[in-house]
Structure 1
Amino acid sequence: MMNVEFIPAKASDAAAISTLRQRIWDTTYRGIYPDAVIDDFDYDWHQQRDLKKISNPSFTVYLIKYGDADIGYFIFQHAGSGIWLRSLYVLREYQHKGIGKQAFAILKDYCQEKGINRFACDCSPHNENAMQFYQRMGGVVTKTDTGHENKQEDGVIFEFNL
């Protein structure tokens, strides 16, 4: 397991998160998302969206760092009585090193502190690495929506019981 840090994101981290998103989408979703979604990535729009999440108390946003390098980000939302994992992205060269497990430990601790016994996330069924990871973490597919002409619209929902 790598010695990485999960740093609570500040407003000044929104640009780094948006940059990471574009880099990760390029290696993860090329062939799943239309090329234009990746090639014409709107940094300003994504940065503003990330800034809103960072400043919204219902979201918990972490920048994942390895030394001085920004290597991923992790976002979950506490809405009503539920928790929704919104994003867990790690640069490809840092995957399969225990970082996702560390993120899940943080999320599980948060749920336990709040007295919540489950959380959910959505995933592209075409992202095989993520699908396998969520299954290894104990996720159970509770909804599937596939077969769209645009594969970006396909999705599955995983639920995790604590």
Structure 2
Amino acid sequence: MYKIRLATLDDLSRIAKVHIDSWRTTYKGIVSQEFIDSLTSEWSEERQKSVITNQNKFIYVAEDISGKIVGFASGGPERMNDQLYKGEIYAIYLLEEYQGKGIGRDLFIAVIKKLKRNGINSVIVLVLEDNISAINFYESLGGLKVKEGSLELQGIQYKDIGYGWMDTSFLTV
């Protein structure tokens, strides 16, 4: 059992733990080990705080029955001035042992519903090309490959793919 709720500033350290732990398992062999090893709680907390304290952005967390945060998802307005997609899912991260249990889908739906309440019905998410489990996840939710780009981490370029939904109303039923 778990529950999904909006994050608060009190959750920052626990969100950072999920963020870093999930990077270490998800991106091993995908991004440089040097980058993964350089991740710190302070880095993650700063990133998440900038989302929580922005009135147009938000984070949802998934808590297990003991209150442990096991995953989170963040979203808000699309950040690259895309003309088609007005909303963006910035991140979805789950601890490895909680993946495949429907929690990621529930976090995704929570973000979509919040965006809809904010008047946003079209959404994009960027995923690294080699993150096959994320690609499969977004495709299973009806995401269509709509663009390609790149992400630079410590001077190394990684190819990313944008998955989009022009109308998310079917996802919230």
TM-score by length of 1: 0.87
Work out the percentage of aligned pairs sharing the same amino acid. 23
What are the superposed Cα offsets for residues 109-161 of structure 1, whole Å, 9 maximum, x if unpaired?
Answer: 23433343321110011111100000000000111236x9946x210001013
Give the Cα–Cα distance (whole angstroms) in 2 for the partners of residues 101 and 31 of structure 1: 25
* Correspondence for 2:136: 132
Supply the AA of the counterpart residue of 1:75: S
Give the Cα–Cα distance (whole angstroms) in 2 for the partners of residues 116 and 12 of structure 1: 27
Match status 1:158 vs 2:158:
no
User: Any gaps of 5 or more consecutive residues in structure 2?
Assistant: 169-173
TM-score by length of 2: 0.82
2:34 aligned to which of 16, 36, 40: 36
Give secondary structure in 2 for the equivalent of 1:145: strand
- C-alpha spacing 1:39/1:97, structure 2 compared with 1 (3 Å): same
Give the Cα–Cα distance (whole angstroms) in 1 for the partners of residues 43 and 149 of structure 2: 27
Give secondary structure in 1 for the equivalent of 2:13: helix
* Correspondence for 1:73: 72
* Correspondence for 1:120: 124
C-alpha displacement of 1:99? 1.1
Give secondary structure in 2 for the equivalent of 1:126: coil
User: Any gaps of 5 or more consecutive residues in structure 1?
Assistant: none
* Correspondence for 2:54: 56
Give the Cα–Cα distance (whole angstroms) in 2 for the partners of residues 93 and 46 of structure 1: 21
* Correspondence for 1:142: 146
Give secondary structure in 2 for the equivalent of 1:56: coil
Supply the AA of the counterpart residue of 2:159: D
Give aligned pairs, total: 158
Give the Cα–Cα distance (whole angstroms) in 1 for the partners of residues 76 and 136 of structure 2: 23
- Contact kept? 2:92, 2:108, Cα under 8 Å: no
* Correspondence for 2:171: none
Once superposed, what is the RMSD of the aligned Cα atoms?
2.1
* Dislocated runs of 4+, deviation >2 Å: 78-81, 107-117, 148-151
